[in-house]
A and B are shown apart, each in its own frame.
Chain A
Amino acid sequence: MPFPWLSAAILFPIAASLLIPFVPDAGDGRRVRWYALGVALITFLFTVGGYLNGYDPADPGLQLVERVSWLPDLGLAWSVGADGLSMPLILLTSFITALACLAAWPVTFKPRLFYFLLLAMDGGQIAVFAVQDMLLFFLAWELELIPVYLLLAIWGGKKRQYAATKFILYTAGSSLFILLAALAMGFFGGGAPSFEYTALAAKGFPVGFQVLCYAALLIAFGVKLPIVPLHTWLPDAHGEATAPVHMLLAGILLKMGGYALLRFNVQILPEAHVQFAPLLVVLGVVNIIYAALTSFAQRNLKRKIAYSSISHMGFVLIGIGSLSALATSGAMLQMISHGLIGASLFFLVGATYDRTHTLQLDEMGGVGQKMRKMFALWTICSLASLALPGMSGFVSELMVFVGFATSEAYSLSFRIVIAVLAAVGVILTPIYLLSMLREIFFGKENAELASHTHLVDAEPREIYVISCLLVPIIGIGLYPRIMTDSYRASIEALVDREAGALGRIASPPGRAVMRPAAVPAGMPATAPLQAPSLA
């Protein structure tokens, strides 16, 4: 039997977290943080080991499969595996968590509990991406909420109770929909209930049933991604979280929403997806513009970056809804890219707060004169976030743009409107990010700030964390195939499913028709001109 890489990556950090009480530590966290970092690194190595030894990027199917029957009555099994949709995100999770452990170095308040939760979350999040059983998925999804809740509620900012409560109510409430949909789908068609993805995908639900399940799941995952107007937990949660938690929230938690959309809504409910797709695209555009504007007006640094995350997730939605291989691949890349860039920005926010002790932009200014390295890191990460070429964000947004603009599934006028509106985001993003840089770092030093705080420049640990994030950001930006090739086959299989579903659904007048891949030069003439119906 091959080594169970995925189970190891899930269970090892959880088991190790239970041993934290026995780590000899004086209570200031100096030993326990090394322990946590070591565990997180080993977990990262497990995922890398799985990727290198058991994963073939060219294979669109499920790999690294491990299956143990758990509750046979319920059809529940410990079933994990990875394909192109989950493998990159599993790697991202273990990578960001390891860096979050390093980012958490200054935490001295209840360090044992803090690192316990961090490691428990590591396993839980990998489980969310790795499990292949919907009930198991629901459990992992729920279990991972608790550490987040506690991390918010205990180590958060001033309004931490409010934020944590809002977070848990929002996500726990919405995840009820996952449970409902899972039960409905699992018990569908009578016989022994089965919740495994492959079984669900093979069931061939009727379209009406699919639409119901799709709507329920869209709400659940829409909260997580988040989709406007289900986003209001995020600025509060992000606004109150400490830097390491922040990195996990932005780097991984938001991606769970996007991943789940691809996994369930697209893969298992393709017929419903092709009907909902235009809605996703429209919501994506709303996300981009709405959140960019709110971010621009926001005066609190953390909340500003939080809104910028929402804005970036809009591209994920457009990509998922595009029904094109290039744009779906772009959506996947945008998740990875934002995971890295968002984590780095939130880490910098935390590092800056440690020095300025304020998040209000009005109380900063001219900070760049004393913190030059910090200024440089901020500039690089902001440029990455505003999709500067040579960094990953550019590639993913470009893929979404090109893929959507050439997607045959939509009428020309719809594509034009969406592309134009999404491109407005290209103007808005630098406006809020560069304004932010200007207000923090440029200009005369804020005398009041300088008088009561000691502005120390970035320390090696901080530079190291950012460098670790920048290496993949720039690597993907220079040669995106190092990442896209690892999931290309799965995305293509997924888009084939969409195309099949589109073909199966009769095309009444008013609905666009998907044509198989190849794009001849004269294709615009044949593109249907009607606006697509919104489901």
Chain B
Amino acid sequence: MPSAAELAWLIPVLPLVGACLTGLGLISFNRTVNRLRKPVAVLLLTCVGAAAVLSFAVLAEQLAGAGPREVLFDWASAGTFNLQMGFRVDALGAVMLSLVTTIALLVMVYSDGYMAHDKGYVRFFTYLALFSSSMLGLVISPNLLEIYVFWELVGMCSYLLVGFWYDRDGAANAAQKAFVVNRVGDFGLLLGILGLFWATGSFGFEEIGTRLSEAVAGGSVSNGVAVLLCLLVFMGPMAKSAQFPLHVWLPDAMEGPTPISALIHAATMVAAGVFLVARLQPVYAPFPAVQVVIAVIGTITLFLGASIALTQQDLKKGLAYSTVSQLGYMMLAMGCGAPVAGMFHLVTHAFFKAMLFLGSGSVIHAMEEVVGHEPVLAQDMRLMGGLRRFMPVTAITFLIGCIAIAGIPPLAGFWSKDEILGQAFATYPLLWGMGFVTAGMTAFYMFRLYFLTFEGEFRGNDKAIAAQLLAAAGKAPGGDEEHGHGHAHADHPHESAWQMTMPLAVLAVPSVLIGLLGTPWNSRFAGLLDPHEAAEMAEHFSWSEFLPLAGASVAISLTGIAVAVAAYALRRIDLGQAVAARFPAVNAFLANKWYLDAINERLFVQGSRRLARQVLEVDAKVVDGVVNLTGLLTLGSGEGLKYFETGRAQFYALIVFGGVIALVVLFGAFG
């Protein structure tokens, strides 16, 4: 019987087959297939489920001590070049495989409830399976080239899913923005891959690593060039993992259905950048300059995300900026040369952030019953409040998520974040300071979200606020769109169906417990990924070092929570008065997301449009003008042109044809 590792190629192929089947069905027998909702869902769930079973088998093998396994074949070749593809299974890949399939499965179950009334149900499931397939392919890619292939494919799935509700202008713009911003990152990634191939003649991670440092040591590649190539490659992860300044697409991507935000834009795809940096550790490790840049960008990102999250009124946007911030933590870990810590945070974050997003989806789903299918209303926390009474499961799991991300022991987020902060403290104390302050901000904004959403009085029936929000968004109250507000039929929201609450409950378990796998004195997670480092960690562990740092982290988190409690639960301090009014510039700066969107719009969007228009102008007036002028002059006068314009086409063609024939005859006679 073949080992699971030998069958690992099936993991991405199974969902792909499912997606292709339903996709073909959708195109050829649209109506019939659209009616087969449950069978399609069951088929695709089975495909992803089988992939999940295989993934866990692979993980079990890795836990039992199986080594890495790589299978390659010649994909394209010319001359002496062979571009190879294949798959690679190792501990890092196995962890990611299990993570991705688990969350994908849960999100699919959840979507059955969330998308139950959507006419694009089948299409949604098809995209989900397609995404799972691409993401799993990315995880088992053995070299940079194949990573690039799947990198683009997950980007495409993200494009399709963000633009899923294509009749909304917001979704259309967000989808395009996501793709184009990611392509800017891919521009660097592609050039970096080409450059590394030029320098080392390989696409494999280890080979590039060893050959590049050899080449630098041997003097055939200068240190600066090597650093530049590494940074070019890093542009890819910067875009995909929403690092400053290429993070701008992620908050907009919240226009997609909420299950997508949980799966793609919180747990899996955005983590791909972090994953790639982890894969590239053998390449990056010898270059401290690269590490510093990664760490600094990670730190800027974690601070930027948290600071913008402070003022968000949209529940999903708040979570989105929180994701940006947490991705910054992971990058910081990578920059500190601690990929295991970064990967650990990736795993814990995937669980609790997926849960938080699914929880927000549950809230939005419930709110839509009250305020109608209008994202401006259904996602705004000013209309929520007091939801805990109506939807206890959602509220409790959301609260667990908040505690986990805030970093309160023994929940998952504490262990992983603390490990990163510990590493940063040892390597870059200044960056640690930023990360430390941000930890407090994280606790504050997460509990702010929780209190505004679930505690206090329910404000969903306040027509005045609703009208205000609609006016601010530039939409006519009452709504004349297709979805309309006519669906608003309930006075208060209800708890969601079991398909939606079950995944929340399931995700709550790892959100609480999984951190215990990575305790610094006995990290089983590190033991799987990097036994050496695990042993080292356990050896160097001392309570006297761990307790002060961990204590400080917990203290600042508690402070953040306390402020949130005082401000939003007890209403003792009015932050709007106390802070926002006193520092209007800061408040405006944060509310406008550091003005980055405005700068992008001005500089790049308008700039490229203007440039394109000018080039077209030149093309039409100068290049084509010369041609037309020449044409006119050769014909002597307008007379000739008029003749051609009158439509004696056949006649003219006859002349040409006759000319050619005459030429042949001429040659025949006198040649």
Q: Which residue of B lies closest to A141 (CB)?
A: B660
A482 to B495, CA, bound (A): 55
One digit per residue, 1 when the CB lies within 8 angstroms of any chain A CB and 0 when it does not, for chain B 97-113 equals 00000000000000000
Closest A residue by C-beta to B16: A390
CB neighbors of B among A127-164 (8 A): 135, 139, 142-143, 145-146, 149-150, 153-154, 161-162, 164
Closest to B184 in A: A427
Decide: B176 and A438 in contact? CB cutoff 8 A. yes
Do B172 and A524 have beta carbons less than 8 Å apart? no
In the assembled complex, which residues on chain A have CB atoms less than 8 Å from the CB atom of B148?
389
The answer to whether A405 touches B623 (Cβ under 8 A) is: no
In the complex, the answer to whether B660 meets A142 with C-beta atoms within 8 Å is yes
- Closest B residue to A460 by CB, please name it: B28
CB contact list, B176-211 vs A, under 8 A:
176, 179-180, 183-184, 186-187, 190-191, 194-195, 197-201, 211
Which chain A residues border B624 with CB–CB below 8 Å? Answer: 232
Cα–Cα, bound, A73→B665 (Å): 12
Chain B residue nearest to A390 in the complex (CB): B153
**Is A491 an interface residue, CB under 8 A from the partner?**
yes
Main secondary structure of the interface of A (DSSP, over half): helix
Q: Which residues of chain B have C-beta atoms less than 8 A from A149's C-beta?
A: 649, 652-653, 656
Given A376-B26, A399-B78, residue A442 in contact with residue B153 (CB < 8 A): no
Docked Cα-Cα span, A69 to B352, in Å, equals: 80
Are A297 and B667 touching (Cβ within 8 A)? no
B600 to chain A, nearest CB (A): 13
**Would you give the 0/1 interface string for A458-479, flagging 1 where the beta carbon is closer than 8 Å to chain B?**
0010010000000000000001
Q: Is B72 located at the chain interface by the 8 A CB criterion?
A: no
Contact between B149 and A146, CB atoms less than 8 A apart: no
Q: Which of B216-224, B246-254, B304-312 contacts A (4 or more CB under 8 A)?
A: B216-224
Looking at chain A, what size class is its interface with the partner chain? 35 or more
On chain A, the residues within 8 Å of B455 by CB distance are none
Contact yes or no, B176 A524, CB < 8 A = no
Determine the residue in chain B with the shortest Cβ distance to A170.
Answer: B627
Interface residues of A in 319-334 (CB under 8 A from B): 324-326, 328-330
Complex Cα gap A284–B200 (Å): 27
A296 to B176, CA, bound (A): 14
Is A405 a contact partner of B195 (Cβ separation < 8 A)?
yes
B609 within 8 A of A: yes
**Are B649 and A427 touching (Cβ within 8 A)?**
no
Q: In this assembly, does A4 line the interface, its C-beta being within 8 Å of a C-beta of chain B?
A: no
Q: Which of A14-22, A42-50, A242-250, A365-373 interfaces with chain B?
A: A365-373
A232-B627, A442-B171, A481-B75 as given contacts; A427 in contact with B80, CB under 8 Å: no
Q: A329 vs B78: C-alpha distance in the bound complex, in angstroms?
A: 7
Cβ of B631 and Cβ of A169 under 8 Å apart?
yes
Q: Closest approach, in angstroms, between the C-beta of B124 and any C-beta of chain A?
A: 13
Residues 289 to 330 of chain A near chain B (Cβ within 8 Å): 290, 293-294, 296-298, 324-326, 328-330
A492 touches B78 (CB 8 A): yes
Contact B78 A403 (CB under 8 A): yes
Residues of A close to B214: CB separation below 8 A: 521
Q: Which residue of A lies closest to B167 (CB)?
A: A369
Give complex CA distance A443, B183 in Å.
23
Q: How many CB-defined contacts (below 8 Å) exist between A and B?
A: 230
Task: Indicate if the CB atoms of A296 and B27 lie closer than 8 Å.
Answer: no
B662 to chain A, nearest CB (A): 12
Check A426/B186 contact, CB under 8 A, given A229-B623, A297-B613, A388-B156. yes
Given contacts A143-B660, A401-B194, A524-B198, contact A293 B612 (CB under 8 A): yes
Q: Is B166 an interface residue (CB 8 A)?
A: yes
In the complex the two chains form, what is the Cα distance from A193 to B150 in whole Å? 55
Contact present for B176 and A435 (CB under 8 Å)? yes
> Digit string of B1-42 for contact with A (CB within 8 Å is 1, else 0)?
000000000000000000000000011101000000000000
Please tell me if the beta carbons of A71 and B195 are within 8 angstroms of each other in the complex. Answer: no
A23 CB contacts on chain B under 8 angstroms: none
Chain B CB within 8 A of A505 CB: no
* Contacting residues, chain A, for B566 (C-beta < 8 A): none
Q: Tell me if A207 is interfacial: C-beta within 8 Å of chain B.
A: no
A335-343, A351-359, A417-425 - the one binding chain B:
A417-425
* A385 interfacial by beta-carbon distance below 8 Å: no
Inter-chain contact A484/B78, CB cutoff 8 Å: yes
Within 8 Å CB of A73, what residues of B? 668, 671
Please tell me which one of the listed residues A142, A161, A389, A444 contacts residue B167 in the complex, with CB atoms under 8 A apart.
A444
A449 at the interface (CB under 8 A from B): no
Chain A proximity of B209: nearest CB distance (Å): 13
Output the residue of B76, B149, B190, B627 with the most chain A CB within 10 A: B76
Which residues of the partner chain B approach A76 to less than 8 Å between Cβ atoms? 667, 671
* A427, B166: Cβ atoms closer than 8 Å: no
Asked if A480 lies at the interface with its beta carbon under 8 angstroms from chain B, I say yes
B187–A406 touching, CB < 8 Å: no
| A535 interfacial by beta-carbon distance below 8 Å | no
| Contact flag A438-B173 (CB < 8 Å), given A444-B167, A491-B78 | yes
Q: How far is the CA of A401 from the CA of B194 in the complex (A)?
A: 7
User: A395 near B668 (CB under 8 angstroms)?
Assistant: no
B611 with A293: CB separation less than 8 A: yes
Are the C-beta atoms of A325 and B167 separated by less than 8 Å?
A: no
The answer to whether B74 has its CB under 8 Å from any CB of chain A is: yes
Contact of B172 among A172, A415, A443 (CB under 8 A): A443
Find out whether the CB atom of B194 lies under 8 angstroms from the CB atom of A405.
Answer: yes
Docked Cα-Cα span, A161 to B647, in Å, equals: 6
Q: Say yes or no: A521 contacts B616, CB within 8 Å.
A: no
For the complex, is B215 an interface residue (Cβ under 8 Å from A)?
Answer: yes
Is B498 part of the binding interface, using a Cβ–Cβ cutoff of 8 Å? no
Q: Determine whether the beta carbon of B81 is less than 8 Å from that of A402.
A: yes
B619 beta carbon closer than 8 Å to chain A: yes
Q: Is A431 an interface residue (CB 8 A)?
A: yes
Q: Are the C-beta atoms of B619 and A426 separated by less than 8 Å?
A: no
What's the nearest-Cβ distance from chain B to residue A255, in Å?
A: 19
Judged by a CB distance under 8 angstroms, whether A519 is at the interface is yes
Q: Does A495 contact B (CB under 8 A)?
A: yes
Specify which of B76, B83, B149, B623 is in contact with A389 (CB 8 Å cutoff). Answer: B149
Q: How far is the CA of A525 from the CA of B218 in the complex (A)?
A: 10
* CB of A522 within 8 Å of the partner chain: yes
B191 x A419 contact (CB < 8 A): yes
Whether a CB of chain B sits under 8 angstroms from the CB of A500 is: no
CB of B187 to closest CB in A, whole Å: 5
By CB atoms of chain A within 10 A, which of B150, B153, B198 has the most?
Answer: B198
Q: Mark A433-444, 1 if CB is under 8 A from B, else 0.
A: 011001001111
Residues of B within 8 A of A521 (CB): 200-201, 211, 214-215
Cβ B150 vs Cβ A324 within 8 A? no
Q: Is the CB of A524 within 8 A of B221?
A: yes
User: Given that A401-B190, A524-B220 are contacting pairs, would A484 and B619 also be in contact in the complex, using a CB cutoff of 8 Å?
Assistant: no
A74 interface hit (Cβ, 8 Å)? yes
Which residues of B sit under 8 angstroms from A402, Cβ to Cβ? 81, 83, 194, 197
Given A293-B612, A402-B81, A521-B200, A74-B671 contact (CB < 8 Å):
yes
Query: With a CB–CB cut-off of 8 A, which chain B residues contact A405?
Result: 194-195, 197-198
User: Are B215 and A517 touching (Cβ within 8 A)?
Assistant: no
Contact B28 A406 (CB under 8 A): no
Complex contact B201–A232 (CB within 8 A): no
- Measured in the bound complex, the distance between the Cα atoms of B79 and A492 in whole Å is 6
Looking at the complex, which one of B78, B180, B660 makes contact with A326 (CB distance below 8 Å)?
B78
Does A297 contact B609, Cβ atoms closer than 8 Å?
Answer: yes
Complex contact A150–B650 (CB within 8 A): yes
- Min Cβ gap A316→B in Å is 15
**Chain A residues in 8 Å Cβ range of B26:** 376
CA distance A534 to B200 in the complex (A): 29
User: 12 other contacts beyond A153-B653, A492-B78, with CB at 8 A cut-off?
Assistant: A149-B652, A161-B649, A325-B80, A389-B148, A403-B81, A405-B197, A430-B183, A442-B169, A488-B78, A521-B214, A522-B215, A525-B220
Closest 3 CB pairs of A and B: A325-B79, A442-B172, A153-B649
Can you give 20 contacting A-B residue pairs, CB < 8 Å?
A: A153-B653, A164-B649, A165-B645, A172-B656, A193-B671, A293-B615, A326-B81, A369-B167, A377-B27, A388-B152, A402-B197, A424-B187, A426-B190, A427-B180, A434-B176, A434-B180, A441-B166, A444-B167, A481-B74, A484-B76
